[in-house]
Amino acid sequence: MKYIEELAPGEAAGIKKTIQDLFRQTCILQVKCDPVTLVQRDNPRYRICANHREFIADYLSVLDCELVHDPHEHIFRIKGEGMPTDKMTLTGTRILLILKVIYRDKIMGEGLNATVTSLEEIREIGRNTNLLTRKLTVQEWQEALTFFKTHQMIELPGAIGSLEDDSPIYIYSTINIFCSSVDLNEIVKEYAEEAQANGSIEEYTSEESEETIYKNVSE
């Protein structure tokens, strides 16, 4: 830990906090939204990862983890055997798919600064896609939103308990990491091959598969 000892106390504390955040959140974003105003601001944790990347990577390697920089998504994240994992509920997975659909539609139709949704819109898309076929309990919403916020897939204005139907919910681009089109296509391919083996479906391309996911996501 000689490297840490040679740094200013504030910078050393920042490295320790950044490593803690990596294990709690699994990734560090370059830009984060203020939870009150949803205005984007530079994330000091990202600067620490960039400035002390080699030390942090060496530290994580001892714990069987690897520090990965994703320049496209502008994040640092960890992967490996020692990475903590959270198991998402089926309801959480359904909401995640809805958020993915909303993000995709808005990023394509309204520009990079328009990835904001609400509980009302999530429910509406859920009904339209048959992903949400019943009224969820308050606990189910809180568990799902807490999971997404912890792993920095969304940002919320204030406490989850005080969220209103029309309160803005900002969707980070990291939603793609947790629910990528590549993964969706693999799922579609797996089920398409199974169905084809049973003689109940025609073969189609991965591009058609991805399009079908969004048009008939309930299937």
Whole-number CA gyration radius for the chain? 20
The predicted-structure confidence for 58-80, as pLDDT tens digits, reads as follows: 999 998 999 999 888 889 998 88
More confident site: 34 or 31: 31
46 is written with which tokens? 């990202």
Q: Where in the chain is the domain with CATH 1.10.10?
A: 90-178
* pLDDT higher than threshold 70 for residue 218: no
Which pLDDT belongs to residue 216? 42
135 is written with which tokens? 């009224």
**Domain 90-178, classified CATH 1.10.3130, yes or no:** no
Under DSSP, the state recorded for 89 is P
- pTM beyond 0.75, yes or no: no
Rounded distance between C-alpha atoms, residue 96 and residue 145, angstroms = 10
* pLDDT higher than threshold 90 for residue 36: no
Q: Supply φ then ψ for residue 32, to 5 degrees.
A: -120, 160
Rounded distance between C-alpha atoms, residue 170 and residue 167, angstroms = 10
Mean pLDDT of the chain: 80
Confidence category of residue 192, pLDDT binned at 50, 70, 90: low
Under DSSP, the state recorded for 41 is E
